[in-house]
Amino acid sequence: MQIKHFILLLITSLSAHFLNAQDLALFKGKILDEENKSIEGATIAVEGEKGGAISDRKGYFSLDVPAGKEIIVSITHLSFQAKQYKFTLEKNEIKNLKVVLKASTYELNPVEIGEEKTRTNSMEKIDPKNIQFIPSATGNFEDIIKTQMGVSSNNELTSQYNVRGGNFDENLVYVNDIQIYRPFLIRSGNQEGLSFINSDLVDDIEFSAGGFSARYGDKMSSVLAVKYKEPEEFAGSFTASLLGGSVHVEGSPKNHRFKFISGIRYHSNQYVLGSLDTDGDYKPQFADVQTYMTYDISEKWQIGFLGNYARNKYNFIPEDRETNFGTIQQALRLTIFFEGQEVTDFETYFGAISNTYRPNEKLKLTLTTSAFRSFETETFDILGQYFIDELERDLSSSNFGDVAFNRGIGSYLNHARNYLDATVLNAQHRGEYLRENGKIEWGATFQHEKIIDQLNEWDLIDSAGYSIPQPKLSPGQKPVYPIELALFNSFRAKNTLSSNRVMGYGLRTFNWDDKKNTAYTFTGGIRVNHWDLNQETVFSPRLNFTIKPDWEKDFLFRISSGVYYQPAFYRELRNFDGALNKQIKAQRSIHYVVAADYNFRAWKRPFKFVGEAYYKKMDNIIPYEIDNVRIRYYATNNAEAYAVGADFKINGEFVKGVDSWINIGVMSVQEDIKDDYYYTYYNDEGAKIIPGFTRNNTVTDSIKTEPGSIPRPTDQRINFSLFFQDYLPSYPSYKLHMTFHYGSGLPFGPPSNERYKDTLRIPAYIRVDIGISKELIGEKTKLSPKNPLRHFKSVWVGLDVFNLLQRNNTLSYLWVTDVTNRQYAVPNFLTSRQVNLKLQVKF
């Protein structure tokens, strides 16, 4: 029925256009602001005539107007001064005009203007101008996402983030409507390197933390949709810092039919990694090149190409590590001496070709084909010899803080030879038809995936000359010599997986007002996804309803709900041993989101407050464990879960002329693994048996316990983030930019692959980064005609201070074991305070 309706709409539109062509002329063009940037959402209408047109994202519009008589055309936009044109056109005449609108005298917050376009749905607009000012240890685009409502991150070395209790794999990322994938074998933020999105190329950002429409794909947590620029004139930038640099150029010839934007990035976090507890020879090299080009074959037909090549290499030869941990009553020190090295290599190729056809101003058709290829290698042989010492804690002792005595020694050997080759081929069609009371959207996708995976990984632990684990003996049984050594962990597998997916969606948006001028918007849609690996087909209905009362104060209320299936990708199929569960089913999350936002003015400046409460009911969940940024799945649908919480955000001009924002979130996310249980054993004295502590380990009684609901690995109860900007009033070229993150402790437990033990909490994550910048050349800088610097639009230098508070944030724990199987949790600390110098030139 959907295709039939589309054909009828297309025929009706073309027929109406043909019948009226004899009395009409065509008025079209592009609408820009004073900075030569496209204006989306401007209204073009003929006075005294019904209908009109709205400019698209690139500022283009097309409108049939009466011929043979004088007409007045009005062009209006909420944020700009209206403009009128008076002219007379002959039959079939085409008038092409470039329209430049001046900013309205009533100044609005730039973020508020951008968000007005998406205020009636769950997508939040983010101003890309602020990306360059965020102090960042990675330089990745995602650092601005980490400051958004509902988002949390406890690792400054990675571009990954959690959204409302979801993990990294539950976030959708699109660039120009094409889905982007994260690395498969990535184990730590140290290895990760550059993310796909190049900040220099970004033009438009939309983000949703839940309750998003059927237009976006099959993930359970969030969606990030990024559009790259289609420039109108030549420009570029150059950035250099102690962590690397980037160059980008963009332009369009005089006829503006061909447009391009390209960028090259290089990043090395060697300087940052030098502040970690583990000393050694860090040699990270991360680089990529990216380009986006479009060509207008005609006024109605455009083709585009998006290409990317990335190489993220990480070589590390560890030398030694010293970490102090414990409490005042028991201060401990772990010292490790290393041999060996780690080599990881992630090489990615990506290309996409798009065809966009606009038969008229109401209909837009797009066909896109893309190919993604990733070669990933992870190899290491690391021998660590460790000493666990207790420190002297007597303040009166001359040896205070030194080693008092040794509590244990041991060694471990970690080995891996992991290789993965991933290919994803995709062809998709998207369509959009505008109607007077809303629009219709639809899409269909075919995707082929092939994964070749080779896993060979093992760990050997030796404590005081004894291999762990020791062979288990029955009471009275004597050991048989020679004793066979057992590996602490061992995974080996070779997998080849080839499969196809067919996906589609359709949605309808209605806009209307009642007699009291209350505005309503309703969007309803459905997605379908079929995977031939397990022959599973899932349907995901979703809806969004907003009410904007005609009140004196600018309030808007929104309700969103929907079913969000997440069919497994390769990572969810593979269990801890490397075996694949090809019968795995799609995880499901049902979202209920209630939101309100309020635009207001304080101190004669614009502000916006947003509050959202949500509940997510999840079933068919695949349990997992997180170590650093590595997610390891149990590969079974044996859990149910829920997430409940609320997020609040206020943004605006806390300092006149610059944007800042604050986010606060509270949340609880729990899961119940259906078939988990454990036994508690007691000896003949009635005492609980604790291996390594109790002497009498003769079992005479036991109790079976089913844990029930336990915190998920992402159960972070409180989150707070802030992005603040300021400047010196007398010297506005001196600016300050600050980010602050607070996240309460995440659950963790011993490395036993038993989730019910993960009930301990990592200390809270607290981090402050600041950047101080000085603009040397700007818009108001006056230079002589002979000065070579006159070609630069802006030049500024900056000083970033990472981890200003010098807090030792804990990422995870290294578990070391003695011969009695007693385990010590040694914190893996993140980076300490460091300084970065930065230079940026725009031309």
β-strands 438-463, 489-513: how paired? Answer: antiparallel
Cα 834–Cα 840–Cα 843 angle in degrees, nearest 5 = 175
**CB atoms near residue 19 (< 10 Å):** 10
Grade residue 569 by pLDDT with cuts at 50, 70 and 90: very high
Give me the pLDDT at residue 675, please.
85
Dump the DSSP string for 367-411.
EEEEEEEEEEEEEEEEEEEEEEEEEP--TTSTTTTSEEEEEEEEE
- Of 117-126, 511-520, 809-818, the poorest mean pLDDT is in 117-126
Q: What are the Cα distances from residue 800, in Å, to 206, 361, 835?
A: 27, 47, 6
The mean pLDDT value for 818-842 works out to 87
Distance CA 72, CA 117 (A): 27
β-strands 823-829, 536-548: how paired? Answer: unpaired
Give me the pLDDT at residue 15, please.
39
Give me the pLDDT at residue 229, please.
94
H/E stretch holding 331: strand 331-357
Cα 508–Cα 79–Cα 293 angle in degrees, nearest 5 = 65
Distance CA 292, CA 201 (A): 8
**pLDDT, tens digit, 9 for 90 and up, residues 439-470:** 999 999 999 999 999 999 999 887 655 556 65
Q: Are 741 and 756 in contact (CB under 8 A)?
A: no
Q: Are 650 and 682 in contact (CB under 8 A)?
A: no
Burial 223-245 (b: 16+ CB within 10 A, else e): bbbbbbbbbbeebbbbbebebbb
β-strands 639-655, 554-566: how paired? Answer: unpaired
| Beta-bridge partner residues of 502 | 446, 530
| Beta-bridge partner residues of 612 | 595, 647
Secondary structure of residue 695 in the 3-state scheme: coil
Does residue 217 surpass a pLDDT of 50? yes
Q: Are 645 and 666 in contact (CB under 8 A)?
A: yes
Grade residue 16 by pLDDT with cuts at 50, 70 and 90: very low
Ordered alpha helix ranges (H), 229-319: 270-273
The candidate with the shortest Cα–Cα distance to 627, out of 145, 158, 149, is 158
Distance CA 603, CA 501 (A): 54
Distance CA 481, CA 479 (A): 6
Burial 675-686 (b: 16+ CB within 10 A, else e): ebeeeebbbeee
The mean pLDDT value for 373-382 works out to 96
The answer to whether the Cα torsion of 671, 672, 673, 677 is positive or negative is positive
The answer to whether the Cα torsion of 466, 471, 472, 475 is positive or negative is negative
- 451 phi, psi to nearest 5 deg: -125, 130
Give me the pLDDT at residue 342, please.
96
- Of 170-184, 226-240, 390-404, 712-726, the poorest mean pLDDT is in 390-404
Does residue 471 surpass a pLDDT of 90? no
Q: Are 91 and 65 in contact (CB under 8 A)?
A: no
Structure tokens at 638: 């044996």
Distance CA 600, CA 609 (A): 8
Give me the pLDDT at residue 821, please.
64
The mean pLDDT value for 590-596 works out to 97
Does residue 58 surpass a pLDDT of 90? no
Distance CA 724, CA 738 (A): 5
Q: What percent of the chain has pLDDT over 90?
A: 62
Which of the pair, 460 or 175, is modelled with greater confidence? Answer: 175
Distance CA 345, CA 567 (A): 28
Cβ neighbors of 220 (< 8 A, separation 6 or more) are 166, 170, 564, 565, 566, 587, 588, 589, 616, 618
Cβ burial of 830 (10 Å; 0-12, 13-18, 19+) is buried
Grade residue 581 by pLDDT with cuts at 50, 70 and 90: very high
Give the N- to C-terminal CA distance of the chain in Å, as an integer: 52
- 638 phi, psi to nearest 5 deg: -125, 30
The mean pLDDT value for 25-48 works out to 84
Grade residue 326 by pLDDT with cuts at 50, 70 and 90: confident
Distance CA 336, CA 236 (A): 48
Does residue 119 surpass a pLDDT of 80? no
- Of 42-46, 269-273, 354-358, 425-429, the poorest mean pLDDT is in 42-46
Does residue 400 surpass a pLDDT of 80? yes
Mean residue pLDDT across the chain: 88
Give me the pLDDT at residue 240, please.
96
Structure tokens at 218: 């099959």
Q: What percent of the chain has pLDDT over 70?
A: 92
Ordered by where they begin, the domains of the chain are: 2-106 (2.60.40.4130), 115-474+501-675+707-842 (2.40.170.20)
**pLDDT, tens digit, 9 for 90 and up, residues 763-787:** 999 999 999 999 998 877 777 777 8
Q: Are 452 and 420 in contact (CB under 8 A)?
A: yes
Give me the pLDDT at residue 105, please.
45
Does residue 693 surpass a pLDDT of 70? yes
Cβ burial of 298 (10 Å; 0-12, 13-18, 19+) is exposed
Does residue 111 surpass a pLDDT of 60? no
- Of 47-56, 318-327, 365-374, the poorest mean pLDDT is in 47-56
Q: Determine the residue type at 313.
A: K
Cα 734–Cα 740–Cα 742 angle in degrees, nearest 5 = 175
Grade residue 508 by pLDDT with cuts at 50, 70 and 90: very high
Does residue 820 surpass a pLDDT of 80? no
